[in-house]
């Protein structure tokens, strides 16, 4: 029976006052009565907790009203399923978006507390790894800003990815303890707890009317318990919900085992359940790791779908209107099992016929693909799915039968094409292709940049695109300008506001008015002064954390992102070695001082990525301590890259390194963050760089290297990379010094195989693109020497970033995919 609709005509309290006096009084009240500290002995973390609670109270009013408004109007809801939500610190975000930054700052100043110190003290939520999770966070904030009713669904990781530290230049993975002292932003929803099952068997059951249906009887159960976090839109337009699932055992302790003396075994169920939400991306190189990863993905998918269906039935009473009132977006392939789970809920739990259920399923789901890399388009062994999710494997087979019948019958596909569209990969052990499942179960499949979307049609989904030609569309990624300009770069925001007026704060496209000031000498000087202040802040952080002194007057050349061979940090550090050699060989030249800044994490099992981090640190150790360089070149690797660190690095960057192998980066969003903050991009024609090139103009970006088509040709020709190396003396010299141990005297062979790979296959085109990259870097030096030209280019980057706002992206999703009305601005 559906639950009774909730009445929303009860009286509500008056919104809380936002004057400095009222906030000051409440901070003190919270400190004493919620935190339990006398102001005389309160420590910074006590003041932080009291301040968050005070700000949170003012968010709550808007949060409650947002929920009431959605129920009253029956507006369609969007549900965004993502294994990552890299939300970063929330206090400054909330204060800024509801207009409390200055009142809170003044209130704390009256109490002899510095707001900046408290902001830096708040831990980063360890809910993501990189671009995928940060995009999800930007999208949630933008959905609140453009007033779309939405929920984000993910996992409440206790430790997240990992905390990265360095030991003699090597990455060391340690647990991230962001929840160690609780999370004042979250609310446990004990009423929103769902059983999630695994294993067991499927039994046919005959209903009284003679209908035979399948009933899954799991033998392993746990609870998914909801924790909600408010996500505030700009100017408090709307507050949406991030709902994270925590895994808990149904029986926390097996008393019979405990009483029999097996005290460890008695906690086995607790350990098994809690393992699911301990760590983001558990290593899947072992069978146990694969199973845990699949359990994670099904756990949060099942809990989310049960919650969505429960909420829909509570309000509307039946599931026939599901696709009209619910839009579910799958953020990459991780939640793809949701397709099979929704079919199970519709057919098995709610008695729907297969055909209408499948139509409803497709009408509800959209799928965002973020990568063309085969390892990221997940697949699971059939045997694992049959053992862990036996009913879902049956459903996958049934979906596959329909797809293959369509391919054979309507489309007249060949055997090879049928094999390509099949959900089951028969090559080298039968596996379920989760990307294919997400594709066939969704009415919309979108790429995240124009180039990426076209490549999807030509490569990984070429035959599925032929079978369903109306499904693939493009939605170029975006970033929220609130966090990535207004909050992380208040100096630039104030300068722009003083120059063109504050209207751009509400309509980021108005930044284009800044174009008129690009050549203005006075504005250039002001713009450069803001950049210098941001660089001084970063230089201090580098000195404090690493003990390395860098000059803010040098060019800050930045590459911060996940460490992966296709992102080509290796190309960057090899060029640094070549530059080092040239500076020593020609001290008489007028060299541009540079600080090469790296940050990023390598997956624990990705040896080459971890080796590249070690190489960067080894090269840094030599170059930074060589008096012959005279400080003209410094190399810095900042450990434990996260949102808060990015918020310091991005505003300080002069040069943004976006140098991935063409055709391999789906979009990128770091490139957009740097662009907004007045950095010039050096990059390949890859991902969203292509659209950045169009928006900012060829004269305001530095492009180099092979195109996607040229990369494919070279790979297909089987050309020997050695020829490219032999033709470039500076590359040859740099590679030889690395390979022979110049930078690793303690282990001369440490990088022999890494460099040898460039001679033997060079899949990521590092050697082949090196000379073009070095030439582009020389062009960057020439531009830097002409300060008026550099500043003009930097200003135009900021002025033309409007297209890359996540507000624009979300409006396109709403109109083209979700069929959700966006209220008039």
HEC readout, 457-481: HHCCCHHHHHHCCCCEEECCCCECH
DSSP 338-404: HHHHHHHIIIIIT---HHHHHHHHHHHEEEE-----GGGS-EEEHHHHHHH-HHHHHHHHHHHHHHH
Active site residue 673: yes
Q: Which is the catalytic residue, given 37, 561, 564, 750?
A: 561
pLDDT above 60: residue 592: yes
Beta-bridge partner residues of 202 = 216
pLDDT tens, residue by residue, 37-56:
999 999 999 999 999 999 99
Selecting among 77, 567, 610, 796, the annotated active-site residue is: 567
412 a catalytic residue = no
Res 609 pLDDT > 80: yes
Q: How far apart are CA 585 and CA 789, in angstroms?
A: 29
Tens of pLDDT, residue by residue over 768-815, are 999 999 999 999 999 999 999 999 999 999 999 999 999 999 999 999
Check pLDDT > 70 for residue 7: no
Q: Which pLDDT score is estimated for 585?
A: 96
Which run of H or E residues covers position 95? helix 91-97
CA dist 378 → 373, 457, 657 (Å): 10, 18, 28
Q: Which of 271-275, 368-372, 552-556 is predicted with the least confidence, judged by mean pLDDT? A: 271-275
DSSP 8-state symbol, 824: P
**Mean per-residue pLDDT, 562-589:** 97
HEC string for 178-240:
CCCCCCCCCEEEEEEEEEEEECCEEEEEECCCCCEEEEEECCEEEEEEEEEEEEECHHHCCEE
Exposed e or buried b per residue across 17-45, where buried means at least 16 C-beta atoms within 10 angstroms of its C-beta: eeebeebbebbbebbeeebebeeeebeee
Q: Please give the average per-residue pLDDT across 349-369, as a whole number.
A: 97
Given a cut of 50, whether residue 3 has pLDDT beyond it is no
Catalytic residue among 163, 568, 673, 800, which? Answer: 673
Q: How high is the pLDDT of residue 551?
A: 98
- Residue 201, pLDDT above cutoff 50: yes
Mean pLDDT of the chain: 95
Stretch 381-410: mean pLDDT = 97
pLDDT above 70: residue 594: yes
Tell me: the pLDDT tens digits for 239-289?
A: 999 999 999 999 887 777 777 887 778 678 888 889 999 999 988 888 999
Query: By 3-state DSSP, what share of the chain in percent is helix, strand and coil, each rounded to 5?
Result: 50, 15, 35
Least Cα distance to 665 among 793, 515, 590, 765 occurs for 765
Task: Over range 733-756, report the average pLDDT.
Answer: 97
- The full length of the chain comes to 825
pLDDT band at 400, cuts 50/70/90? very high
Task: Round to whole Å and give the CA distance between 575 and 356.
Answer: 58
**Residue 2 — very low, low, confident or very high, per pLDDT cuts 50/70/90?**
very low
- Which pLDDT score is estimated for 1? 38
pLDDT in tens, 64-100: 999 999 999 999 999 999 999 999 999 999 999 999 9
How far is the first Cα of the chain from the last one, in angstroms, to the nearest whole number? 40
* Active-site pick, 295, 334, 370, 535: 370
Q: What's the CA gap between 247 and 194, in Å, rounded?
A: 10
Please give the pLDDT value at position 10. Answer: 56
Catalytic residue among 54, 368, 669, 681: 669
Look at 5-14, 28-37, 815-824 and tell me which has the smallest mean pLDDT: 5-14
Query: What would the pLDDT profile of 627-636 be if each residue is shown by its tens digit?
Result: 999 999 999 9
**Average pLDDT score over residue span 657-662:** 98
Residue 457's CB is within 10 A of a number of other CB atoms, namely 16
Report the 10 Å Cβ neighbour count for 374.
10
Report d(CA 297, CA 812) in Å as an integer.
Answer: 27
pLDDT more than 70, % of the chain: 98
Least confident of 204-208, 514-518, 530-534: 204-208
By the 8 A CB rule, do 774 and 578 touch?
A: yes
Active site includes 730? no
pLDDT-based confidence at 216, cuts 50/70/90?
Answer: very high
- The pLDDT assigned to 825 comes to 52
With beta carbons less than 8 A apart as the criterion, state whether 588 and 634 touch.
no
- Does 5 score more than 60 pLDDT? no
């Amino acid at each position: 029976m559906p639950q009774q609709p909730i009445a929303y005509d009860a009286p509500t309290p008056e919104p809380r006052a936002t004057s400095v006096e009222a906030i000051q009084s409440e901070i003190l009240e919270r400190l004493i009565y919620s935190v339990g500290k006398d102001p005389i002995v309160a420590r910074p973390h006590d003041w932080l907790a009291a301040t968050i609670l005070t700000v949170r109270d003012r968010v709550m009013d808007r949060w409650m009203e947002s929920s009431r408004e959605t129920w009253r109007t029956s507006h369609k809801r969007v549900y965004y399923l993502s294994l990552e939500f890299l939300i970063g610190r929330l206090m400054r975000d909330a204060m800024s978006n509801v207009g409390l930054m200055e009142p809170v700052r003044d209130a704390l100043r009256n109490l002899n507390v510095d707001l900046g110190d408290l902001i830096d003290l708040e831990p980063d939520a360890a809910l993501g790894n990189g671009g995928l999770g940060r995009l999800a966070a930007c999208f949630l904030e933008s959905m609140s800003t453009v007033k779309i009713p939405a929920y984000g669904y993910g996992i409440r990781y206790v430790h997240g990815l990992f905390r990265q530290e360095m030991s003699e230049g090597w990455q060391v993975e340690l647990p991230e303890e962001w929840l160690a002292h609780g999370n004042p932003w979250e609310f446990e929803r004990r009423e929103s707890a769902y059983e999630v099952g695994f294993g067991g068997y499927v039994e046919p059951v005959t209903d009284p009317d003679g209908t035979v249906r399948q009933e899954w009887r799991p033998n392993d159960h746990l609870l998914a318990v909801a924790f909600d976090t408010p996500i505030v839109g700009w100017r408090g337009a709307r507050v949406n919900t991030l709902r994270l699932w925590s895994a808990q055992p149904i029986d926390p302790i097996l008393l019979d085992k405990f009483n029999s003396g097996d005290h460890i075994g008695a906690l086995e169920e607790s350990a098994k359940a809690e393992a699911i939400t301990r760590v983001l991306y558990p290593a899947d190189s072992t069978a146990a790791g694969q199973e845990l990863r699949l359990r994670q993905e099904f756990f949060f998918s099942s809990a989310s779908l049960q919650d969505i269906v429960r909420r829909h039935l509570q309000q509307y009473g039946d599931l026939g209107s599901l696709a009209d009132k619910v839009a579910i977006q799958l953020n990459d392939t991780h939640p793809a099992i949701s397709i099979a789970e929704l079919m199970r809920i519709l057919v098995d739990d709610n008695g729907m016929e297969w055909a209408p259920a499948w139509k409803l399923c497709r009408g509800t789901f959209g799928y965002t693909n973020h990568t063309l890399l085969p390892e990221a388009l997940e697949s699971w062994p059939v045997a694992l799915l049959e053992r862990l999710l036996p009913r879902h494997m049956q459903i996958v087979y049934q979906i596959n039968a329909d797809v293959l019948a369509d391919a054979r019958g309507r489309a007249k596909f060949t055997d090879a094409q049928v094999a390509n569209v099949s959900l089951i990969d028969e090559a080298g052990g039968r596996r379920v292709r989760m990307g294919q499942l997400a594709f066939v179960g969704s009415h919309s499949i979108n790429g995240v940049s124009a180039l990426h979307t076209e490549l999807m049609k030509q490569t990984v989904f070429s035959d599925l695109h032929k079978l369903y030609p109306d499904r693939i569309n493009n939605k170029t990624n975006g970033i929220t300008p609130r966090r990535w300009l207004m909050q992380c770069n208040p100096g630039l925001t104030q300068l722009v506001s003083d120059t063109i007026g504050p209207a751009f704060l509400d309509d980021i496209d108005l930044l284009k008015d800044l174009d008129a000031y690009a050549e203005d000498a006075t504005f250039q000087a002001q713009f450069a002064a803001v950049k210098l202040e941001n660089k001084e802040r970063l230089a201090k952080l580098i000195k404090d954390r690493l003990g390395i002194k860098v000059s803010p007057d040098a060019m800050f050349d930045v590459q911060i992102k996940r460490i992966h061979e296709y992102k080509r940090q290796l190309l960057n550090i090899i060029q640094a070695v070549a530059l080092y050699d040239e500076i020593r060989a020609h001290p008489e030249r007028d060299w541009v001082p540079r600080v090469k800044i790296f940050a990023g994490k390598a997956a624990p099992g990705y040896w080459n990525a971890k080796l590249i981090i070690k190489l960067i640190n080894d090269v840094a150790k030599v170059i930074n301590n060589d008096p012959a360089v005279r400080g003209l070149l410094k190399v810095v690797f900042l450990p434990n890259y996260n949102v808060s660190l990015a918020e310091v690095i991005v505003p300080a960057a002069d040069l943004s390194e976006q140098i991935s192998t063409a055709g391999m980066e789906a979009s990128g969003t770091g490139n957009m963050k740097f662009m907004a903050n007045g950095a010039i991009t050096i990059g390949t024609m890859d991902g969203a760089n292509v659209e950045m090139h169009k928006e900012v103009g060829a004269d305001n970006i530095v492009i180099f290297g092979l195109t996607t088509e040229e990369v494919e040709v070279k790979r297909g020709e089987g050309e020997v990379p050695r020829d490219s190396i032999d033709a470039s003396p500076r590359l040859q010299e740099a590679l030889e010094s690395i390979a022979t141990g110049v930078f690793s005297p303690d282990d001369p062979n440490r990088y022999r195989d890494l460099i040898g790979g460039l001679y033997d296959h060079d899949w990521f085109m590092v050697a082949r693109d090196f000379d073009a990259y070095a030439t582009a870097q020389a062009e960057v030096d020439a531009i830097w020497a002409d300060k008026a030209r550099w500043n003009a280019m930097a200003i135009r980057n900021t002025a033309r970033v409007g297209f890359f706002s996540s507000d624009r992206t979300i409006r396109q999703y709403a109109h083209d995919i979700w069929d959700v009305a966006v209220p008039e601005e």
